Each structure stands twice: as structure tokens, then as C-alpha cells.
Structure 1
Amino acid sequence: MLKDAYPYYLANEAIYANRDLPVTDKYSGEVATHVAMADRKAIDQAIAASVAAAPAMAAMAPFERQAVLDHCVVRFRERAEELAMALCIEAGKPIRDARGEVSRLIDTFRVAAEEAVRIDGETLNLEISARAKGYRGFTKRVPIGPCSFISPFNFPLNLAAHKVAPAIAAGCPFVLKPASRTPIGALIIGEVLAETDLPKGAFSVLPCHRDGAELFTEDDRLKLLSFTGSPQVGWDLKARAGKKPVVLELGGNAACVVDEDADVDDAVARLVFGAFYQSGQSCIGVQRIFIHSAIYDTLKKKLVEKTRALRMGDPRDEDTFIGPVISEGEARRLEDWIKEGVERGGTLLCGGERDGAMLAPTLMENVPAECSIVAEEAFGPVAVLSRFDDFDAVLEEVNNSAFGLQAGIFTRDLYKAHRAWDRLEVGGVVIGDVPSWRVDNMPYGGVKDSGLGREGIRWAIRDMTEERLLVIRTP
């Protein structure tokens, strides 16, 4: 169970300033706990503290940063079931998915601990001509300084971890704004960090009112902004961020291509997972499914059967696969998009029914490409099937999107796999699986409206450090 109330964390300290943010149980709709909300003054103090902490953070030896991250790994393992239940309540995430996210939280901090002692530079041969004789060059990476992080509601633990853990590894103090709908996971991370020897002001975790929230983006004392969330918000933040570098991990309408040589049963199992795990609320959830005509009818029949068999209900139930989406408003939006798809000529194969925030897992086919359920990010338990005959043509159809995060290709043809990798306008191509697959040490991010930059520990550390050159002349 959750505590009765949670503080925010300002300059490493728990502050029970108020109980202004009610956090609801997303399945029952009842208030589960209350969280302290930071005002503009607290946010300003947190940023000032992060600036003051920057020299001490930069001076920490790599093994000291590693020790902080190792402590977190130990404590997260000890509190794994508490963390999973918090996710289950605040995000409506089925308990099996919640436990999976906790394991990824642990993986992310574990990998960051390993990378903390691998932040290397290089030696440069500068003697490229006679005038450079006697010169040697060296580079090292230094922390960029105080960072601003804004994390989303759908992976409250792991997507916050993908900002926090590399920042600690790199030696950067930070201020984190978790999603107001799901702040508990980030606050538990803050509680564990408060047990460590991080310098005073190294971190703040601040659920906050709109008043002052612009400081996370616009304050020039912050040297990097990393945002995960919707494209509309992300691009607006980038426009207001000033001179600081911005990393954006935004949305998608991820496509999956199933070629004629695919193992149908294997593809069906993975598609069901990719489209409907955690109620489809993933930016790389399978939304557009392109199936070769030779296996279309067979695969469609099996996919519909498996989808109809998915169990909906209380996310605390071990057998539940589909829980609520984050709010009733989001469920109504998806219901409207499904109706629009049918009105425009699409066929509803299964699902479409809504009860409050619960939306039945839904499959459609032959929906026009311009309909919202195809062209926009659904972010819910809905996927659309289409038939194809020509592999090269379907790659162009995958690219026919404003987004470009990841794509999945089920094929056994090595040459087709390489063509997909060469031609698809996405940040990552997954062969033999759905685009929803991710592990936490790989580069992850998109192109087009799906964002800028890459997450994944090593890549995030690059963003949070700057290269500094040393040149030595031997007279």
C-alpha cells in the first residue's frame, strides 16, 4: 500500500510542504495518497542548489558515483514489491508489467554504475603536417552542469531512471519534474537517493503547479533539458529552452511488418504483447500492422482470437493483462478515434467497448491512412491491420508517418532485413520482433516528430558531458 502522504525532495531533503496533489488509484478512481507540490519559490531554490552543487558533483571520483548507483540498485531490489504496487496503483499498470518495470529500473541503475567508471577520452595525433610537429592532443569528457528532467506518466520509474542514473554517472546535479498523475515512483527514487552521500543540492524531485513550471525549461542556469512526453509539448519546450541543448523522446505510431516467411504463431504472440502490454500506453507500442497477403487471413484470425482472450480487470490481479488507461478522458478520445475509423470505411475486428477508463483491446482493418487512429499516436490498446504484397512498397508505407521512433520487421530474408535498416526513417529497426522491444543499454530515440537525441545510458552520458581538449607543445 502507499503511504498516507509523500514529500517532494528539495536539495536532497524531504519537504512535507503540503498535501496539494491527490494521486488516484487509476482502477478504482479513488484518491490513494497525497503528494506535496512545489511552488515557484521551491523550484527556484532547487535550481540554485543544483548550481551550487555542480563543482562538488564534478569533483566526485568515478568510483564514488558508482557507489551511489550501486546503493540504489540494492535498495530498489529490497523495495521491489513496494515499487511494483505503487506503479499498479498510481498508473493502473497490471502487476506483472509493474514488476517488469521495476526490473528495468534496477537494470538501468546497474548499467549506469558500470558506465560511471568508463567515461573515457582519447589521445589525438596532431602531427598532421610540419607546423604541428611536437604537438599532442588529449580529450576528456566533463559534466555539462545542472540538468532539467521532465518525465512522463506511462513509465514513471524507468523513464525517470533513464535521466537520473546517467546524470549521477556523469556527475551532473539535476532537478526532476515527474508527471503529476504518477509522481510516486520518482519520489521513491528520491527517497533512496537521500540515503546516499551525494553533495547537498545534487538532486531535487519536484511535482509542481503550473506556476513556476516554466523554470524547468527556460531558466538559463540549467545547462540541459531532457523531456519525455507528447510531441506537442516537447517541441514547444524546445522552442522556449533558449541556448541549452535539448533531448526529446516523444511519441510514435509504430509499425510492424510481417512478411510471408514469418512464423505466424510467433508473430501473433509478439504482436499481442507489442500492441496491448500495459494497455498500449507506450510510445513504441504496435499501432500499425502490415501483413503479407499470403498469410494475412491466417494471421488475422489467430490475432483476433488471442486478443479477445486477453483478460481485463483489476491491475492487482496476477492474471490481468489489460488495465485502465491513464484517465477516462483518454479512453473517450480513443473510443472516438475508433468510431471515426469505422465511419471512414474501416472494419472493427474486435474490442472497441469502453467502461470508464477501461477500453477493450481493439483490432481494426482497412482504416484510411489519414484517420487519427492510423496517422496520430493512439497511446492505448488499439492496433490497425493492413495487407501488402510488395516489401519495398510497404517500407514506404511505414515511412508515411510524421513519426519515426522504432519499427519491427518479421522476416527471415537477410537482404530484406538490411533494406529495412537502410530505408526506414526511424531511430531503430527490430528484426524478428515488435518495435516495442527495448533493453536499457541500447541507444533509443527517434527522428521526425518522434524527437531529438538518444537515451540509453552511454548515449545519455554523452549528452550530459562535454568534450574538453588539451593540447601540449613540446618545444
Structure 2
Amino acid sequence: MPFQPNKQYINGEWKTGQSDKTIKNVNPYTGEEIGVIQSANEDDLDQAYQAAKKAQVEWANTVPSKRRNRFHKLLHVLKDEKEIIVDWLVKESGSTVTKANAEIDSARLVIEESMSYPTRTNGQILPSENPGKENYVYRKPKGVVGIIGPWNFPFHLAMRSIAPALAAGNTAVLKPASDTPVSAGLLFGFLFEKAGFPAGVLNVVVGRGSEIGDAFVEHSIPKLISFTGSTEVGSHIAELAGKHLKETTLELGGNNAMLVLEDADVESAVDAAIFGKFLHQGQICMALNRIIVHEKVYDRFVSSFIQRVKELPTGDPTKKDVIVGPIINEGQLEHLTKAVKQAVKEGATLEIGGSSDNNVFEPTVLTNVTQNMEVAKTELFGPVAPIINVQSEEEAIQIANASPYGLSGSVFTKDRFKGMEVARQIETGMIHVNDQSVNDEAHVAFGGEKASGLGRFGGEWGLDKFTTVQWVGVQSGRRDFPF
């Protein structure tokens, strides 16, 4: 069946949503309406969860080789349909062509790692303090997983939950962000259907958060809710999930710092900062939000960084050379404009940028920023680079940790062992020495500390998150009891 980007995908069928509300899909660069989707309501949501529950037992009992073969087929489908995926990422999420291709490559690596899960779901046999008894610990799927996909890296980040969840024997219901209902949602129905996954194993419901958001979490069927998005929404999801004793995996916001120490290779640090700040317009949870530079190399770093920023191609994301494309929506554009104006009002210097054209916010550099300024305390989610001057390594560490967030980070120094010592003092789930903060490898633990989330994705950590364990004790012969 041809791809239908305006329907719900429930139990292997493309259906019109039953809500009287619609979701308009808008190209963030042109403002053009690229589709209208009839929203799902709670009845649609219930159908999706019921379908997932019905399909789960048979899917979990499918032998590992057959489950793995579905993912092998999915890799071929991903290659065959790469053009349509790139097209949707560009026109729906404002991705540049470079970013869209990189995102698909990352999703492919997630699939390849997940393919190993069916034969890595190992249990244990443990001894017992009771004579004649053995303890078996079985690892098995959690059941049905509810997945809420984000808008910024919609394809990769949704796949990061879908592939491992299904590979571990779960089934899933996916609810995409309203800004990217296709690239974070309906595309997956199309791809997984084409790869031959059984009906009900993956279901996609597109609906407004105000109509089905809470119900998506509170429904009695899902055992785990996986969410990638803002800390504010993630906190609300955690509250709802906790009320119903559901587990969550939450990858939330960040205020990531790059520490450029006095012995750093300045040009290498500049190269890394350009990528870590401006990839996808800085609309990444791992993007650099604060660049903290030692005073001995501050002037050199700022001069070189500004020159590189001036050279960044901006504008139409369909053009292959463009690096900085549009901001996702007008609300976020207004947020960035206000943030820059407030920073200048508080004493920061606007070196370059600060304005927008056709939803493209100019790459912006702010110097003379202090840790008490609002621009240094909040997640910007845009192409604005605040640079902070510090007098010592200790001050840099203190400022890096002066944030409720702790997702990713970076340390630059020619002494990599000192870099490791500094990195371990930063209160963050991930940090990279002599590299930038935007890294996600499918086999490595991915996740944050503090207000940046709960749980880890990737490798054995993802397998642990999407499975549970059961202790089965087996007694041989008669056991003696004290009464």
C-alpha cells in the first residue's frame, strides 16, 4: 500500500483519526502547508494499545532469527526509501540535507545494534542458600511500550526507542510531536509495514497533546513510557507515570558546556564548537549552550570563532551547501529573539547576528557573558553561542556545574589525561575530551543526569531498559521449614 501521510497507522491498517480536530503540517522554512491530518482521539489510542497488546505475546515468542530478519529487511527498506525520508526531514523539520543524511545514518546504526538484542537477552542461574534449590533469573520483554517522538531529530530519536523496544520482544505505540507528525511518526508505519513486521507490533497515533497526551501515559496497557523532549513536559510525564507505577525513560533538556582550557588547541576547539553549536541550528538537546574559555586563549578563540560563524551558509535547507536552516516555529523564533535582547540588556556584547529572516535566525555570537545572565542559565535551542571568559580551570568547572541540567559536554586540552580528570568532575551523563557535545553512538550509554533525564539508551543499557527480569526458584526434593 502506498504511504499515506495523513492517516493513523493502527493494527496494520491506515485509518482516519476519529477526533474532530486536525493537525496542520507546515514547512518551517516556507510556511507552506504540506498536509492536514485528522487527529486521533482516545478511542483511536485505545485501539492502538489493544492491538499492540494482542500482538505482543506472539511477537515475543517469535524465534530470534525471525525477529532479527525483520530488522535485516528494515535496513534494506531504509536504503530503498532514503530519498523520501530525506525529503520529509527537510520539508517538515527544517533539516538541512547534510543533517538529514547524517540522521538516517544514525538511525541505521541503531537498527544494526538492536538486531543483536534477540540473542543477547540472557538470563542467569544463581545458587541458593536453601539445600536442593536453584534460582533462575529470566530476562523478558516489558510488554507494550509507549513512545513519544520529538521534532528536532525526529527520525533518529524515534528509532532509538522503537528499534530496541521491538527487538527485545516488546510491541509499541508511537505518538509523534505535532510539529513533525510524519518524520517522527507516520514514516515508521510505512517503513515497518514494508519490512513485513506483523500487524500491531508497531502502531502510530497522531494527536494533540491536549486531547490524548495524558491518556497516552495513563492508559493501563503500556508498561514503559519512552520520551525525548523538554524537561517541563518530561517532568509532567514522570509525574503521571509515577502515579500509575509505570517506568519511564526520559531524555530531556540540556545546558551543555564546552570548557576550553588554557593549553587547548584553539583551532581544533573552534572547529568542534562550530559543529556542536550550529548543527541543525542548535536545535539539539546535546548542542553546546555555553562556551567557557580560559582568559589566556579567550581572545584568540573569539576572533577565530566569529570568523568561522561569518562563513556559515544559511537559508533554504533544500540547498546542499546550507548549514543553518529554519527554526521549527514562530514561538521558538520569538524565544530566541527575546533571549538575545535580554542578554544585551544584561551586559553581553552582540558580536554578530541577532536577527532573523524567513524563519532563519542568524548565527549569533554573544561575548562578555556571565553565568548569572539568563542566556547562560536556560536552554536556548537555537543558533546562539554565549561565550564566557574564566580565569582558571576551577572556575570553568564551577560554572559548568552551575546548572540544573546535566546531559552532555566537552573539554578541550592538549593533555588528554587532565581532560579526563576535568571531565569526571562535570555533573553530566556524557562528556567528551577534545570533541564537541553532540555525540550519539548506538552501542554506548546515552542519557543525562539531574534535570536532563532518567535512564539510558544504547547497547546493553538500552536492552536492560526495555526488558524486565523474573526470578524463578526451583526446589528439588523436600524442603524443611522451621514451623
Q: TM-score, normalised by structure 2?
A: 0.93
Structure 1 residue 223 corresponds to structure 2 residue 257: no
**Structure-1 residue corresponding to 2:186:** 187
Q: How far apart are 1:48 and its partner, in Å?
A: 1.5
Structure 1 residue 10 corresponds to structure 2 residue 10: yes
Q: Would the alpha carbon gap of residues 113 and 272 (structure 1) be closer, same or farther in structure 2, given more than 3 Å must change?
A: same
| Equivalent residues of 2:142, 2:467 under 8 A apart | yes
Q: Read off the aligned partner of 1:304 and give its amino acid letter.
A: I
Counterpart mapping for 1:83-94 below 5 A: 83-94=85-96
1:142 counterpart SS class: strand
**Structure-1 residue corresponding to 2:69:** 67
Q: Read off the aligned partner of 1:281 and give its amino acid letter.
A: Q
Deviations 1:116-139 (A, max 9, x none): 32121223243xxxx534433332
For 1:196 and 1:387, the matched residues in 2 are separated by: 52
2:326 counterpart SS class: coil
Q: Read off the aligned partner of 2:405 and give its amino acid letter.
A: F
| Equivalent residues of 2:17, 2:41 under 8 A apart | no
1:221 counterpart SS class: coil
Q: How far apart are 1:5 and its partner, in Å?
A: 4.5
Deviations 1:347-398 (A, max 9, x none): 1111111124211011112223233321011000011111223213311210
Q: Read off the aligned partner of 1:178 and give its amino acid letter.
A: P
Q: Read off the aligned partner of 1:377 and give its amino acid letter.
A: E
Q: Would the alpha carbon gap of residues 3 and 171 (structure 1) be closer, same or farther in structure 2, given more than 3 Å must change?
A: closer
Q: How far apart are 1:62 and its partner, in Å?
A: 1.6
Counterpart mapping for 1:276-315 below 5 A: 276-315=278-317
Q: How far apart are 1:411 and its partner, in Å?
A: 1.6
Q: Would the alpha carbon gap of residues 302 and 117 (structure 1) be closer, same or farther in structure 2, given more than 3 Å must change?
A: same
For 1:159 and 1:259, the matched residues in 2 are separated by: 32
For 2:314 and 2:83, the matched residues in 1 are separated by: 22
For 1:86 and 1:215, the matched residues in 2 are separated by: 28
For 2:236 and 2:401, the matched residues in 1 are separated by: 24
Q: Would the alpha carbon gap of residues 347 and 391 (structure 1) be closer, same or farther in structure 2, given more than 3 Å must change?
A: same
**Structure-2 residue corresponding to 1:353:** 355
Counterpart mapping for 1:134-145 below 5 A: 134-145=132-143
**Structure-2 residue corresponding to 1:98:** 100
Deviations 1:276-307 (A, max 9, x none): 01100000101101112221111110000000
Q: Read off the aligned partner of 1:466 and give its amino acid letter.
A: T
Q: How far apart are 1:214 and its partner, in Å?
A: 1.8
2:455 to 450, 453, 456: 453
Structure 1 residue 201 corresponds to structure 2 residue 203: no
**Structure-2 residue corresponding to 1:169:** 167
**Structure-2 residue corresponding to 1:384:** 386
For 1:141 and 1:196, the matched residues in 2 are separated by: 27
Counterpart mapping for 1:413-452 below 5 A: 413-452=415-454
Q: How far apart are 1:17 and its partner, in Å?
A: 4.4
| Equivalent residues of 1:66, 1:117 under 8 A apart | no
Aligned length: 470
For 1:120 and 1:197, the matched residues in 2 are separated by: 26
For 1:17 and 1:353, the matched residues in 2 are separated by: 39
Q: Read off the aligned partner of 2:199 and give its amino acid letter.
A: K
Q: TM-score, normalised by structure 1?
A: 0.95
- RMSD of aligned C-alpha atoms? 1.8
| Equivalent residues of 1:108, 1:457 under 8 A apart | no
For 1:236 and 1:326, the matched residues in 2 are separated by: 23
Deviations 1:134-171 (A, max 9, x none): 43333221111111111110011001001100111111
Counterpart mapping for 1:211-290 below 5 A: 211-241=211-241, 242-290=244-292
| Equivalent residues of 1:81, 1:99 under 8 A apart | no
Q: Read off the aligned partner of 1:289 and give its amino acid letter.
A: I
Q: How far apart are 1:256 and its partner, in Å?
A: 0.4
**Structure-1 residue corresponding to 2:481:** none
**Structure-2 residue corresponding to 1:464:** 466
Q: Equivalent pairs: percent with the same residue?
A: 30
For 2:257 and 2:437, the matched residues in 1 are separated by: 7
Q: How far apart are 1:77 and its partner, in Å?
A: 0.9
| Equivalent residues of 1:56, 1:199 under 8 A apart | no
| Equivalent residues of 2:255, 2:290 under 8 A apart | yes
| Equivalent residues of 1:220, 1:244 under 8 A apart | no
1:326 counterpart SS class: coil
Structure 1 residue 149 corresponds to structure 2 residue 151: no
Q: How far apart are 1:201 and its partner, in Å?
A: 1.9
| Equivalent residues of 1:93, 1:315 under 8 A apart | yes
**Structure-2 residue corresponding to 1:363:** 365
1:327 to 326, 329, 335: 329
Segment drifting more, 316-325 vs 55-64: 55-64
Q: How far apart are 1:414 and its partner, in Å?
A: 4.0
| Equivalent residues of 1:341, 1:371 under 8 A apart | yes
Q: Would the alpha carbon gap of residues 161 and 457 (structure 1) be closer, same or farther in structure 2, given more than 3 Å must change?
A: farther
For 1:428 and 1:206, the matched residues in 2 are separated by: 32
Deviations 1:386-430 (A, max 9, x none): 122321331121000010001111123244223224321100121
For 2:11 and 2:427, the matched residues in 1 are separated by: 41
Q: How far apart are 1:457 and its partner, in Å?
A: 4.3
Structure 1 residue 40 corresponds to structure 2 residue 33: no
Q: How far apart are 1:12 and its partner, in Å?
A: 2.2
Structure 1 residues without counterparts, runs of 5 or longer: none
Structure 2 residues without counterparts, runs of 5 or longer: 478-483
**Structure-2 residue corresponding to 1:26:** 28
For 1:296 and 1:147, the matched residues in 2 are separated by: 48
| Equivalent residues of 1:12, 1:193 under 8 A apart | no
| Equivalent residues of 2:145, 2:222 under 8 A apart | yes
For 1:52 and 1:447, the matched residues in 2 are separated by: 36
| Equivalent residues of 1:13, 1:194 under 8 A apart | no
